[in-house]
Structure 1
Amino acid sequence: MPYSLVIFDLDGTLSDSFPWFRLHVNAVAERFGFRQVKDEDVDGLRHASTREILDFLEVPRWKLPFIARHVRKLKTAHAASIPLFDGVESMLDTLAARGIRLALVSSDSEANARQKLGSRAGLFADYDCSASVFGKARKFRRVVRRARVAPGATIAIGDETRDIEAARAAGIAFGAVTWGYAAEKALRAHQPELVFTQVAHIAERLLAAPKRDR
Structure 2
Amino acid sequence: MPYSLAIFDLDGTLADSFPWFLRAINDVADRFGFRRVADEEIEELRHASSREILTRLEVPLWKLPAIARYARRLKAEAASEISLFEGVEAMLQMLAGNGVQLALVTSDSEANAREKLGEAAALFSHFDCAASLFGKPAKFRRVVRRAGVEPRQVIAIGDEVRDIEAARAVGIACGAVCWGYAAPAALRALGPDYTFERMDEIASMLCPDAEAGMSEAISGSAP
TM-score, L = length of structure 1: 0.96
Alignment match, 2:70: 70
Please report how far the alpha carbon of residue 189 of structure 1 lies from its aligned counterpart in structure 2 after TM superposition. Answer: 1.1
How many residues were matched structurally?
Answer: 209
1:179-190 maps to which residues of 2 (within 5 A)? Answer: 179-190=179-190
Alignment match, 1:156: 156
* Distance (Å, rounded) in 1 between the aligned partners of 2:2 and 2:170: 19
Structure 1 position 173 matched with structure 2 position 204: no
Alignment match, 2:216: none
Alignment match, 1:204: 204
User: Identical aligned pairs, as a percentage?
Assistant: 65
Alignment match, 1:24: 24
Per-residue CA deviation, residues 6-45 of structure 1 (Å, 9 max, x unaligned), is 0000000000000000111100000000111111001000
Please report how far the alpha carbon of residue 207 of structure 1 lies from its aligned counterpart in structure 2 after TM superposition. Answer: 1.5
* Distance (Å, rounded) in 2 between the aligned partners of 1:57 and 1:115: 30
Per-residue CA deviation, residues 67-91 of structure 1 (Å, 9 max, x unaligned), is 0010001111112321000110110
1:95-106 maps to which residues of 2 (within 5 A)? Answer: 95-106=95-106
Structure 1 position 36 matched with structure 2 position 47: no
Alignment match, 1:212: none
Conserved 8 A contact 1:80-1:115: no
Alignment match, 2:142: 142
* Distance (Å, rounded) in 1 between the aligned partners of 2:185 and 2:69: 30
Please report how far the alpha carbon of residue 202 of structure 1 lies from its aligned counterpart in structure 2 after TM superposition. Answer: 0.6
* Distance (Å, rounded) in 1 between the aligned partners of 2:101 and 2:150: 13
Alignment match, 2:87: 87
For residue 18 of structure 2, what is the amino acid of its counterpart? Answer: F
CA RMSD across the alignment: 1.0
Q: Which runs of 5+ in 1 are unaligned?
A: 210-214
* Distance (Å, rounded) in 2 between the aligned partners of 1:64 and 1:30: 14
TM-score, L = length of structure 2: 0.92
* Distance (Å, rounded) in 2 between the aligned partners of 1:61 and 1:162: 16
* Distance (Å, rounded) in 1 between the aligned partners of 2:117 and 2:81: 12
* Distance (Å, rounded) in 2 between the aligned partners of 1:69 and 1:28: 11
For residue 193 of structure 2, what is the amino acid of its counterpart? Answer: E
Per-residue CA deviation, residues 180-209 of structure 1 (Å, 9 max, x unaligned), is 000011001111100000111110112129
* Distance (Å, rounded) in 2 between the aligned partners of 1:113 and 1:171: 26
Alignment match, 2:212: none
Alignment match, 2:3: 3
* Distance (Å, rounded) in 1 between the aligned partners of 2:89 and 2:45: 29
Conserved 8 A contact 1:8-1:157: yes
* Distance (Å, rounded) in 1 between the aligned partners of 2:8 and 2:191: 18
